[in-house]
Structure 1
Amino acid sequence: MNIQLPRSRVGSHWRAFASVAVGLCLLVLGGPARADWYQYTFNSSAFNIQSFADRSPGQNEFNVPGQLHIEFYSWTPLTGPVTEENIIGFKMSVWGGGPANLASLTWPLEPTGCQIPAGCYETASRFSIGSLDANGLPTTWDLYLRQDFRTTGFSETFEIASSQAGGSLYREAPSYYSNSGSYSTPAGELGGVWTVALVPEPQSYALMLAGLLVVGGVARRTRGRAGQVS
């Protein structure tokens, strides 16, 4: 009996040590070094969106404030000019009123082609980052997304463009009702801020959670044994 007690205590200590080591390894493996992508984000200052709806009882025109939001994703931090071949994807969204309310387009653009009887889609895109500042954020860019949808008795066109020299927005559905939201800004008038963030892959979150659970479990067992001994 006197021989088994020290051995069991030694075994418990080794098991606790091994569990903590495993937990720490999971935390390290789940750290931000295993990031899946880098997310670059642009939020513009507010601008004016001109909209009109040509439908009964007549044409209604109004102006609403809007904001442009851009996201694009890359496997590695930007170090120089990039095109669509160097990124995972990008998205352009506009917040505002009328037809520009929470509207967005994403590249790769889907769906494409004809999905009968749903209709046919035609898409176009352009992505170019020309230069970066000292923090690796875009200073010159040229981004463009467009989607046309056609089906019997209905059509819709939607496009967004942005660059450091200005931008534009256009949306129209003439066969059902004629409306459009638009903004057009010359160079220097549409301000905004670029930021970049590290986005861990989902597996990294799982590893970090598993590591925390292991370490936390060992700590609880250790406190429980200490209470029994005292």
Structure 2
Amino acid sequence: MSTSSHMYPMSSGHDQHSYIHNSSYQKAAISSAVEKTRRCIFEKLDLQLSSDFGTFRIADFGCSIGPNTFHVAQSIIDTVKSKRLEESTENSLVPLEFQVFFNDQPTNDFNTLFRTQPLSPEREYFSVGVPGSFYGRVLPRNSIHIGHTSYTTHWLSKVPDNVCDKKSMAWNKNYIQCNNLLEEVTKAYKVQFIKDMEIFLDARAEELVPGGLMIVIGECLPDGVSLYETWQGYVMDTIGDCLMDMAKSVR
């Protein structure tokens, strides 16, 4: 695999192999965090600072092609509406419109995304597609009130340079991922992750309005547990072994 930055979007279309039909794991993870997300919005979001202009803007970074991103958008909208009702008096409750920015790489299947979104008037927001890597700015400064991303930041901006270099101590021989078996490989991926997350968070800090929120949902491991000790690691290592055998068979 090349170490330069490449775009690898989720499987497009609507057939049995597409992301639409193979994203139930991600949906379950998002659903499990709904209550915590709702509580975070109620406790942390400052509506006085973030909705002065009548339009509340939400962005989902790494939206893929749905339907999970639509569930996220509607859940956030429902929570914001509930919070407004709770905090406002009848006379002070002015109409509030919602705008949702769906961000992913330029090669993402945005056609399928917008073909499968809820139809009006069921859809309570105006939709905008935003192509571009979230490892950098993709929206104007102070333009969004809530940012969201789930199961995305483990996709690094690039493969660390030295893990594909046979002369490097960090050469990831015989493996297709960082499974924590090789210390130097783990260090290389950790360095790249830190760089990427600094860029990601700096960009979101500029895009969010004062008093806004950034919600990040992702995979993690308990302290002292390595990926190769988990079922996910076992599955990926097995897939890696199969790919290695396939590559050897055509030499």
TM-score between the two structures when normalised by the length of structure 1:
0.21
Higher helix share: 2
Kindly name which structure, 1 or 2, has the bigger radius of gyration based on alpha carbons: 1
